[in-house]
Structure 1
Amino acid sequence: MRHFPQIGKIAPNFLTIGVYKKRLGKIRLSDYRGKKYVVLIFYPANFTPVSPTELIAVSDRISEFKKLSTQILAISVDSPFSHLRYLLSSREEGGLENLNYPLISDLTQKITNNYNLLTDDGLAFPGLFIIDKEGIIQYYTVNNLLCGRSINELLRILQSIQYVKENPGQACPVDWKYKDQILYSHPLKSKLYFKDLYSSKKV
């Protein structure tokens, strides 16, 4: 039975090798604490079919994540040298040329195992974690190996998490987007939202 890291708990820390802009260097998750949100993206392995569609889509929208003070880290069980090869491969070849964030190596599978995403075949399930500036897990999802994730939904969730943390006592209703109407987390105050919403729908 798998036990995933819990929402509201400190994300398992790690120190490993990352590759960014053709350079190898050490990356420690806790180094971002107090500075940035982190979106930690696990993907099965380099050159798997779905992974580049997701990783490139995030890279092409990196400015939106930077505006939200968020660092993207993508991680797989490949070696740093495999990552380097992946980053040097053109997009036409299924590679990640000109990626705008680091790829992290988990060759020992320790990190993937700590986040309980290791498959029976030694790959990583496509898991995604949003970690706040205090190093606390605020959100995670785990996908089927062949089902791509939604970048629009990731940004929406990230904005909603940041909003409720910055506005205690408020909550984000279904499909909430930035500047949409909010509701209150207090049950009595939340009735104002439902009154406005459903009274306008009466014929």
Structure 2
Amino acid sequence: MPVLVGKPAPTFSAKAVKGETIIEGFSLEQYIGKKYVVFFFYPKDFTFVCPTELHRFQEELGEFESRDVAVVGCSTDSEFSHWAWLQTPKNKGGIQGVTYPLVADINKTISEDYDVLAGNFEVNEFGESVVTGELVAYRGLFLIDKEGIVRHQVINDMPLGRSIRECLRVVDALQHFESNGEVCPMDWEKGSDAMTADHAGVSGYLSK
């Protein structure tokens, strides 16, 4: 699996849904120079674990926005499926109230470029298309900085929901490093001591 950390985030132009609006030609490039981006993938609309994550991102959206971070979701469903799910109340399994964009990767090219596409597709000796498993996205998450560079990625298997709290922690760590030049040790939390490397390239001393 390719590691995208340290590389430019793959670009795309696709349909997306925000609230009740279908957006043509949605791209993450609109955020370059303006915002950080948390770009996350989930397997399917109208499922069980996925809405818990999408609702949680919405609940913490103010925390992301206060850090100058745009949250964007993506799955291999169509824009019409996204739209219908967004209009469905939470008590009926929907995600009504989610206000950040959901990208429709119906051609599966975005998931493939970010290397989160499950299943396999090949053409056999008879020229027939053969698919093993479902061609849907794993639970991938990418933190992209304001220059469009991937700084963090994590990919969970489908049964394993991710931690939005950990996502915010990594955002804080990145921003602390950018602001102070200090690296963040294990389990670092905002407001905790960070570390400054000495000239030999090893951890030298603790500093807030």
TM-score (norm 2): 0.88
Say if 2:37 and 2:69, in contact at 8 Å, map to a contact too.
yes
Counterpart residue identity of residue 15, structure 2: I
Greater mean alpha carbon deviation, residues 181-190 or residues 119-128? 181-190
Aligned residue for 1:83, secondary structure, equals helix
- Aligned pairs for 1:126-141 (under 5 A) are 126-141=139-154
Higher helix share: 1
Q: Are 1:181 and 2:185 matched, yes or no?
A: no
Counterpart residue identity of residue 96, structure 1: I
User: C-alpha separation between the residues in 2 aligned to 1:73 and 1:81?
Assistant: 17
User: C-alpha separation between the residues in 2 aligned to 1:38 and 1:179?
Assistant: 22
Q: Are 1:99 and 2:111 matched, yes or no?
A: no
Shift of 1:167: 1.7
User: C-alpha separation between the residues in 2 aligned to 1:158 and 1:69?
Assistant: 10
Shift of 1:159: 0.6
Counterpart residue identity of residue 145, structure 2: D
Gaps of 5+ in 1: 197-203
Shift of 1:81: 0.4
Counterpart in 2 of 1:70?
69
TM-score (norm 1): 0.90
User: C-alpha separation between the residues in 2 aligned to 1:122 and 1:191?
Assistant: 47
Aligned residue for 2:85, secondary structure, equals helix
Counterpart in 1 of 2:9?
11
CA spacing shift, 1:162–1:77, aligned 2, 3 Å: same
Say if 2:43 and 2:50, in contact at 8 Å, map to a contact too.
yes
User: C-alpha separation between the residues in 1 aligned to 2:85 and 2:61?
Assistant: 19
Task: Give % identity.
Answer: 35
Aligned residue for 1:140, secondary structure, equals strand
Counterpart in 1 of 2:170?
157
User: C-alpha separation between the residues in 1 aligned to 2:23 and 2:92?
Assistant: 26
Say if 2:197 and 2:205, in contact at 8 Å, map to a contact too.
no
Cα root mean square deviation, aligned: 1.5
Counterpart in 1 of 2:136?
123
CA spacing shift, 1:188–1:110, aligned 2, 3 Å: closer
Structure 1 runs of 4+ off > 2 angstroms? 185-193
Length, aligned pairs only:
191
Counterpart residue identity of residue 100, structure 1: T
User: C-alpha separation between the residues in 2 aligned to 1:107 and 1:188?
Assistant: 46
User: C-alpha separation between the residues in 1 aligned to 2:44 and 2:197?
Assistant: 40
Gaps of 5+ in 2: 120-133
Shift of 1:62: 0.6
CA shift digits 1:63-94 (9 cap, x unpaired): 00000101000000010000000101111122
User: C-alpha separation between the residues in 1 aligned to 2:143 and 2:205?
Assistant: 30
User: C-alpha separation between the residues in 2 aligned to 1:160 and 1:93?
Assistant: 37
Counterpart in 2 of 1:111?
110
Counterpart in 2 of 1:200?
none
Counterpart residue identity of residue 95, structure 2: L
Aligned residue for 1:180, secondary structure, equals coil
